Structures are given as C-alpha cells and as structure tokens.
Structure 1
C-alpha cells in the first residue's frame, strides 16, 4: 500500500505541476512571485553538494527564468535522516536555480505530519528550517464539481485524504465527474484511485449508481499493486496456515501422550491446550506431558 500511495502522490503533482503552487497559496498563504510557466525539473540535487541527494519532485515557477523552486517530498513514515537531507535539498536548489526555494512535505498521517513539521536547527544563529507540511487534515475537501473540474488532481488528492470519512461520497462524485474531461489514461487511473481510497459504504453506493455489482480496477498502476497485495496475502496466509497446522498437531500430541499414560484431562485443560498457538510453549508442554504425575500440573511452571 505505501509504495502505491507514494507512487500516485508523486504522479498527481507530475501530471499537474501547478498543484504545488496552488497548495502553497491556498493552505499556507504563500505570496507567490509572478510567473508565466510551471515546469517539472530534475529531482537530482547531487551536483551542487558532494553527497547524492534526490527529492521526490521539483516544481519550478518560471518567468523567463526560475523565480521559485518547490521541492516536493512525500513522507509516509518518520525518517530521522530527512532532518539532515531536507536542508541540503533547499540549499542545492537555491544554488542551482538561483532563486528562492520552498520545501513542501505531503503526509497522509497526522502523527507523521506533526513530526515532519518540527523545526530543524542548523546551528547558525537564526538558520532554522520549518518545513511546510501538508497533513491529511489540511488537504482541501473538494465536493463542488466546478472546483474538481478546474483541478482534477486536487480532487483525487482530496479523495485520498478524506475518502474514508463522512465526505467520501461527495468527494468521489465530484472527482469522478471531473475525470470525465480528461484523456482516457488519466481518467481511468483517477477513477481507480478515488474508488481505491473510498469507504465501503460510499463505494457500494457509487457502484449502484454505476450499475455495477463490483468495480474492477482498470489502470495498470492500481491493478499491479492490488495483484501484489493479493499475492502477499496468499503467501502470508500459507505461512500462517502452516504455523497453525503445526500448533494443532503439537497440541494433539500432548493430549495423546497424557491419554496414553492414563492421566485424565479436564475439558478446561483440553481447551487451553488446543487453543494455544505458541509453538515454544507447546514444545515445553509436550516434554512435561511425558513426566508429570498429574495432568493438572502440565501448565504449571516449576
């Protein structure tokens, strides 16, 4: 899931670079410089400093020349190394493009967002980096079709952030309507993303409106990750199944030993043995079953 989320969040900004300055303006009230063009720049910031550094995405506002660099970072978990690399990103971008640089960090978890927003002291007096962090609560709730149509990527981002909540259905309706005006590839992907992060009740309601018993994902990105998740689930299930089978067999061995020795086994003791899934504990009980004089002493530590 995390790899899918990271991939699609970067893709939303890559598909619509002006989403980055729009969020700076709308959420953080940043006074943007005049610009005539928004570009995607190389995310490799290694050239200006000795060590390799790569951001998730760099968006350049251009007015004949770069006037602002926006460094986008998707942060889904806490990573202490970012407190070292983020200042380097800004310094490198400032040196490369000779213009101011902003760091925009996008998080889908509020606890991670709070961690990312902590000031980073660089040592020099007054030199403190305070990342601009967009947590899920700060992502605009887009339910108006006109607003969604003007910026479909923002409506998809809204669905990812709020699709599980009470506004999920209204967000999805607006986002799916907005996707109708896009090319087939993007529309298919955005439909999948909206429905993937939608709560079950809203999803079922949408499927009824779409007259489908069950929506099947169409985009390669989502289908690949769903298939991977199912495969991982099958592997995990097989592993858990094998472990469960071993514990059941071990529990039966314990009961067989006790019964072979003529020791009565109460229903309560039988239940505890059969419900135990700890193979280490079952091994201990099996060794003890060979020597105990009373089955009630089986579970007692000596």
Structure 2
C-alpha cells in the first residue's frame, strides 16, 4: 500500500506545479521560471502485461527554453527495481511526447535513500555507455531548513516540501512551528492544502502529533478535514475532562464523524453495515488507521482492509 508520505512528496507538485522553479533554484539548477505547468497522465503502460506509472508528471512551459517534462518520483527507501524502471520512464516519455526534454526529480526523506537515488544509472558497456541517467534529487541533504516565519510565508509550497523532506530532522519541531505560524494569516483556501499535505507527509512519525497540536492552536479557524477532526477531538476531551472513559469515547466519536465526512467528500459509498461499523467503533487507534487510509482510498474496501 502506498504510504501517506509517499503521496505527499509528489502530490505537492500537482497542487503547486510552479514549485519546481523554486526547488531547482535550491538544488542549483539553472532552469528559466515557468510560464505555465500542466499535470499530465502518469500512466506509462504500453500494450504489454507490464504496467508502469510515474508518481507525478508535469509539462512545464518556460519563456526562454521552451517546454520540458518533469517526472516526479517519491522514494521512501532503496529499490533496485528503479535502476530499470527510471531509464524506461525517461526514454518512454521522450518518445511519447515528441522528443521533449525530460527531467527526473526524486524526492526523499532520508540521507541514505537520497544518496542512492542520486547515483547515475548507466546502460551499456563499461567502456562505452549507451545511456546514462542522472536523477535530480531533493531531500534532507539539500532542501532548506526553514525556521523563519517571513521566509516560510514568502513561499508556502517550498516551506511545506522542506518540512516533509526534513520529517526526521531533530529540529523538525522548530520547522513545523515556523510553518504553522506562517499559516495564521493565510486565506483558508491556501492554508487547507498545506495543512493536509504536511500531515500526510509526516505519516506516522512522532512529528505528526506535533503538527496536529500546532494546527489545533494556530489554525483554529480553518475547516479542513484535519482541522475539523482536531477540533472535534478537543471538544470531546473538554467535555470529558477527568473522565478517562468518557474522553476515549468522545475522541472515537469525533474520529468516526470525521471519517464519515471524508468518505462522503471523496464519493465513497458505504453500506448500512459499514456505517454502523464506523459509528460503533470505540478503538481510537483503529479509527485513526481508517482515517489515514481514507485520505487516498478510492473504495471502501481499501479503507477497511488496507488493500
């Protein structure tokens, strides 16, 4: 099953296609600012049994150098299979889109994976390589540690990607506090995707709870699913303060309500039996698992079985 951090590391480029312009500056690559960017289908499957999909694919237009394709791959760990699939992606895209230049960007959350991903992939004989692929890698080794509120507010998309890639940084608390503070005066329509993507990018790490606490305080007026869930939990905890059992029941009830809202918003139909299963569940840990799956699921089966 695809993890939440994996989705956030490439989906942010779909939400903010112009983000790559700033990322390329951070990585020291001289690419003209884009005039437009278009999300393209990520299906790279040919008429064969093998299905191949790049995580995110964008066509980026520039004023000076013309268009190019940006293929974004979120990589959580070393995967030897990528030494064959990544060259395939680039060659296929180059052929499919009329010989447009193709750039592969790999986004990582740890130094070991980033170092591995940056290793050139060579196809051919040692004395005469036929093709060499040089992935561009963004990760904790080269993304900025943003702890200045003004800097974060200046470019929220970059600050969000930086926070996600530094999810395991010992200073992640300061990074998240900065991002949260930068959202205080941000319009809800801009802040909500940032709140959700950051939560998704942190996954099950300890920093995820830190982010939830910050959102509860700094973005109390937002109406995103995560913000509503946190406020429901907070109200439940307040009503049941001093009563451990009541607190647990209130939290579970708030989580169940948030889960029903998310499933409804994503158009996932529920049988009466499944609806009863949600509303009667008192296991906060299980409800939280269902909530995380619901963020990316397309069917009810994926939510309740994890398939």
Partner of residue 218, structure 1: 227
What does residue range 34-183 of structure 1 map to in structure 2 within 5 Å?
Answer: 35-46=34-45, 51-63=50-62, 67-95=67-95, 96-123=97-124, 125-126=128-129, 127-180=131-184, 182-183=186-187
* Displacement after TM superposition at 1:97 (Å): 4.5
CA distance in 2, matches of 1:200, 1:189: 16
CA distance in 2, matches of 1:140, 1:97: 35
CA distance in 2, matches of 1:182, 1:210: 11
Distance 1:47 1:150, change over 3 A: farther
Count of matched residue positions in the alignment of Structure 1 and Structure 2: 229
Contact 1:149 1:178 in 2 (8 A): yes
* Displacement after TM superposition at 1:11 (Å): 2.4
Stretches of structure 1 that go unaligned for 5 or more consecutive residues are 235-302
CA distance in 2, matches of 1:131, 1:202: 33
CA RMSD of aligned residues (A): 4.1
TM-score, structure 1 normalization: 0.61
**Structure 1 stretch displaced more, 91-100 or 46-55:** 46-55
Contact 2:108 2:114 in 1 (8 A): yes
The CA deviation string for residues 251-301 of structure 1, in whole angstroms up to 9 with x for no partner, is xxxxxxxxxxxxxxxxxxxxxxxxxxxxxxxxxxxxxxxxxxxxxxxxxxx
Partner of residue 31, structure 2: 32
CA distance in 1, matches of 2:216, 2:52: 48
Contact 1:110 1:137 in 2 (8 A): yes
TM-score, structure 2 normalization: 0.60
The CA deviation string for residues 107-163 of structure 1, in whole angstroms up to 9 with x for no partner, is 112222222222212116342112222222222112233332232122122222335
CA distance in 1, matches of 2:90, 2:23: 18
CA distance in 2, matches of 1:34, 1:152: 17
- Alignment counterpart, residue 231 of structure 1, candidates 281, 286, 292: 286
Contact 2:180 2:218 in 1 (8 A): no
The secondary structure found in structure 1 opposite 2:37 is strand
CA distance in 1, matches of 2:104, 2:169: 28
Contact 2:108 2:165 in 1 (8 A): no
- Between the two structures, name the one with larger relative contact order (CA 8 Å, sep ≥ 6): 2
Distance 1:88 1:168, change over 3 A: same
The secondary structure found in structure 1 opposite 2:7 is helix
Stretches of structure 2 that go unaligned for 5 or more consecutive residues are 230-254, 263-277, 290-307
Largest Rg, 1 or 2: 1
Partner of residue 240, structure 1: none
